[in-house]
Each structure stands twice: as C-alpha cells, then as structure tokens.
Structure 1
Amino acid sequence: MSGIRYVRGDATVPSVKGVKVIAHVCNDIGGWGKGFVLAISRRWPEPEAAYRAWHRGRAANDFGLGAAQFVQVEPYVWVANMIGQRGTRTGSKGVPVRYEAIDTALEAMAERAGELGASVHMPRIGCGLAGGKWSRVEPLIEERLIRRGIPVTVYDHGD
C-alpha cells in the first residue's frame, strides 16, 4: 500500500495548509526550458534564476547529479531543484534520467522537509522529458520520504 497521495491537478498549486516543498527534477547541463519547469517559471522567477546561478557557479559549489537546491518562493512554499538527469536527450547512453541521483536528491529533500515540517508535492518526477519509469521512482519516494512520515502528494495533470 503506497503512502503517496495521488491527485489530479497542478503541482505548483498545492491546496494544503502548512509549509510545502514542490519538488522536480532538473538536468545537469544548466538547461531550463521544457517540461514542468515552465509551470514553475510561470508562477515564480526565483527557482530558474537560482538554478542558473547554481549552474554558472558549479566550479565552486555542489551542482551535479544528486544535488538539491531549495528556493523559497512564498512564506510557506519552497521549490526543490533536484538534479536527477544527465543531459536532456535520449541517445546512445539511453534516457537522461538517473535514478541514483534522484535517490540522493530525495534524501537531501527529506532532511530539509523534516527541518521545515513540510509536506512534499511533485509531478511524476523523472518520468516526463527525463524518460524514467514511475515503477522505479515511486519506491525511492516511499523509502526516502514516506517511511520518515513526510506526506507526499503526486500530481497528474487534469485535462
């Protein structure tokens, strides 16, 4: 039995009380311009600006697969930029998703969500443009977040 709550709707508009972290997967090459990031950028400019600055300064910071960056966008809302895909295209090395990196980033997110007393909200991370399979991502969320008692809601876009 999954402890993840599934709803139809927009993950950028979580309708619960309290502190919320909106999680999504980014690539490791500094690209921001397709997929769920567009929904984030329509609501708040800060996550994209922070991600781009993080990428620019990567020689001196932790930017890379498995890293997570937390950007406060409203008094009770944070966005977690999690680096869980290598590049942006499916090619000779397969799909861009990197499950180990998502797992590492979820671990960091669990720490931060725990500190904030936050619930976590996300689309089916790693399964859109990154090309991942939910059957591989869901157990990572169960392990890193649900087992620690962190409430997670996954949003499927309603038509």
Structure 2
Amino acid sequence: MSGITYVRGDATVPSVKGVKVIAHVCNDIGGWGKGFVLALSRRWPEPEAAYRLWHRERSANDFGLGAVQLVQVKPDVWIANMIGQRGTRTGSKGVPVRYDAVDTALGRLADHAAGLGASVHMPRIGCGLAGGKWSRIEPLVTERLVRRGIAVTVYDHD
C-alpha cells in the first residue's frame, strides 16, 4: 500500500475539506502552454503569471531544477509550481523529466504542505509531456510526502 489515494477526476478541483496544495511539474526554460498547466490556467491566471515572472527574474531568485513556487489562488488552495524537467523535448539526454529534481521539489513541497497543514493533490506528475514513468515517481511521492504524514491524492483524468 503506497498511502496515496488514486481517483478519477480533475486535479484542479480537489473535493476535500481543509487547505489543499495542487502540485505539478514545470520545465526550466519558462515554457507554459501544454499539458496540465492548461487546466490550471483555465481556472486561475495567477500560477502562470507567477511562474513567468519567476522565470523572467531568475537571475535574482531560486528558479531552477528542484525549486518550488507556491501560489495562493483561493483562501484554502495553493498551486505548487515545481521545476522538475529540463527543457520540453526528448533528445540525446533522454526525456525532459529529471527525477532528482522532482525528488528535491517534493521534499520542499512537503515542508510547505506541513507548514500549511495541507493535503496535496496532483496528476501523475512528470509522466505526461515530461516523459517520466510513474513507477519511478510514485516512490518519491511516498518517501517525501506520505512518510511525513501528508495526505496525497493522485488524479487520473477521465
């Protein structure tokens, strides 16, 4: 048992009480426009605007692989922009996902979620356009979040 709850549905509308963090993986080149981010942008403009500003001002902040940016979109809902992929295309260095960066970002996310008393909600991060395998991501989610007592729900879209 992984300790992760799997449901069918939309990760942008978690239906639990309390503070919620919706986590997803972003690239390290400032691109936002395909995959799960489209669902986020349809619901709230703030995560995209914050990510683009974070990237634009990267020389003066922590933007880079493994970094996490939390953006509050409702009193009880936060979006975690996690930098876990190098670029956007599969090439000579393999798929864009960087498992070590996802692991680092999940550790940072755990600190934020614990501080907020929040549950974490996500699609199968790193497994869509980033090209990762859930069999490699799931143990990271379990180790970094579930073992810290943070409730995690993973959404498979219909």
Which amino acid in the other structure matches residue 56 of structure 1? Answer: R
Is residue 41 of structure 1 aligned with residue 48 of structure 2? no
The separation in 1 between residues aligned to 2:99 and 2:155, in whole angstroms, is 20
Percentage identity across paired residues of the two chains: 84
Specify the SS of the correspondent of 1:87. coil
Secondary structure at 1:106 match in 2: helix
Partner of 1:86: 86
For 2:12, give the aligned amino acid.
Answer: T
Measure, in 1, the Cα distance between the counterparts of 2:70 and 2:38: 17
Give the corresponding residue for 2:132: 132
CA distance in structure 2 between the partners assigned to 1:150 and 1:77 by the alignment: 15
Moved over 6 A (4+): none
1:9 matches 2:9: yes
Instruction: Find out whether 1:25 has 2:11 as its counterpart.
Output: no
AA in 2 matched with 1:132: G
* Structure 1 stretches lacking a partner, 5+ long: none
Q: Superposition pairs for residues 35-114 of structure 1, below 5 Å?
A: 35-114=35-114
Structure 2: stretches of 5+ with no match in the other structure: none
Deviation sequence 1:62-98 (CA, Å, 0-9, x none): 0000000000000000000000000000011110000
Aligned length: 158
Normalised by the size of structure 1, how large is the TM-score? 0.99
Quote the RMSD (CA, aligned, Å): 0.3
- Work out whether 1:150 is the aligned partner of 2:150: yes
Determine the C-alpha separation between the residues in 2 that align with 1:69 and 1:39.
18
Q: Which amino acid aligns with 2:11?
A: A
Return the alpha-carbon distance in structure 1 between the equivalents of residues 147 and 92 of structure 2: 36
CA distance in 1, matches of 2:28, 2:137: 18
